[in-house]
Each structure stands twice: as C-alpha cells, then as structure tokens.
Amino acid sequence: MMEGFTRVEIKTSGARIVTVHGGKGPPLLLMHGNPFTHLSWHKFAPRLAQEFTVVATDLRGYGDSEKPPGGDDHSGYSFRAMAQDQVEVMAALGFNKFMAAGHDRGARVLHRMCLDHPDAVERAAILDIIPQHHLFNNVTQAWATASYHWFFMIQPFDMPERLMSADPDYFITKKLSKSKQGLSFFGKEALEEYKRCFRNPATVHAMCEDYRATATVDLAMDTKDFAAGKKIACPALILWGATGAVGRNHKPAEVWKDYATDIAAFEPLPCGHYMQEEMPDRIVDHYRKFFV
C-alpha cells in the first residue's frame, strides 16, 4: 500500500520503531493517530514522495513497533518519549532537521517535539487536535461525550484493556464509525491492518498507557510549559475537520493562539476527524503549499 517505500526497523534509545521511507527532496515526517499505523497516510504518501523524502512510522506501542513498559508513572508512553523516538529515527536516516505532520496522537507527539526539539522541527502541520492542556482545563459535557475514550482508557490497569480486548473488532469498528459515512472512506487493506494490530492485547495496553500518560505526566509538562509561556516557535499549519468533534465542540483558531507563535494558516475542512482518509486531495494541496 506504500508503493516505492522501504520498510526498516530502527532501534531508538527507548523502542524499536517500524519505519517506511521513500521519495526524494526535503525530509518530511508523518505521524499517525490512535488506533492507526503508518498506513494512515497511504492515500497520499506516494504523491508527497514525488517532492519530499517522506518518512512514516508506527509510534511506539502502535502497529508493529515495540511496546516497552510504561512504568509506574506511565512516562514510557509520554509524548516526550514518543517524540524522542521520532527525532532519533530521523537522525538515523540522516536528518537532524526536518518538517513534520501529525494527526490525532501523532499531532500531540509533534506538539511536544516542537517544544522539546525546536532546532529539529522546521515546520509543523497539526491535524485535528486541541492541545490537551486546554482540554483538561476546559472540560465540557460535549467534549466528554464525544471523546469518552479519553476518560475510559485512563482507568487503572487492567479494566479498560480487558473490556476493549473482549471483542476488539467490535470496539475498533464502533470507534471509527463516527459519522454517517461509517467506515466507507477507509482503505480496506489499511482497515484490516488496523484491526490486526488492535487484536494484540499488548497494543491495546500500550494505547491505554498512552492515554494514561496524557492525563498525568504529559499534563504536568504542559502545565509547566504553559505557565512559562513556552509555545511552538516554528511555522505551524493548523487544520481540522469542521464536522468532527474538534470542529463541533471547540474554537481551534482561538485556542491555538495560546500555544503557537507563528501560525501560517488555520482552516477547517468539510470533513470529520479522519481527515487524511476523508479528504486526502485537500491535505496534499495544503502540504504542498506549506512544506516549501
């Protein structure tokens, strides 16, 4: 599904990361969301590879990447740890500076990467998130209802893991069917890969650790940085789905001004949360203009 790409496994200081790369030109890192893998970008990564050296990974814990222990404080799945993996992957491929795009959890990894590694990230495209620092400090009934899994998956081990793995195909299918379109816009082969990975109890546990870290160690980091006025400094492209939970329940253009200093563009697209699956052509157009 990623024609022309080479698959390798890169050992970072914290995990073994599945990586695919291809193309030529300036380096561009793509990071997927939950519950996906690098195939999240399959609809347009080959097109971007005509202009960029495209790198797509499975985040630690996701897909076929390694699933290290989270630790008592879940910091093994903090966005800081995940961002460190990705910086080391890019360095192993010969790129100490690069551009990056992230969707969902991958966008949160990118947000943290921009704060922790400002000299590495030259441009950042963030798809369909509101910073978790804002979310946890502005909980609403609408957000809690739409994003129920945030509160379910942070419950202590192993209650959410047992329930999610009791019928993994049902859970992932239900979670991804957020709109009237259901699963119709997902590539069939990609969807089967997402299901395959989700059937692994170790993957489900890693995903829960990711969310547990978000509500604890990540939030603590974010709170400290926000108080210090630390923001994304590189040019940032903020896109979201107008009909998804972000578009319906939040005001991204207002919120992001508190977290980034150089916002190249804000734009809602006429779609839901799974933007790169629903509107790949529009995403490609934005990326070709932004990543120059």
Catalytic sites, residue numbers = 104, 273
State the residue for tokens 């069939």: 188
What is the DSSP-derived secondary structure letter of residue 108? H
Q: Where are the alpha helices (DSSP H) in the chain?
A: 45-48, 79-92, 105-116, 132-137, 141-146, 148-152, 159-166, 168-176, 188-198, 201-213, 219-227, 245-249, 252-255, 275-278, 280-290
Phi first, then psi: what are they for 93, rounded to 5°? -90, 0
C-alpha to C-alpha distances, 3 to 17, 21, 40, 165, nearest whole angstrom = 20, 10, 14, 32
For the chain, how far is it from start to end, CA to CA, in angstroms? 26
Spatial distance between the Cα atoms of 6 and 23, rounded to a whole number of angstroms = 10
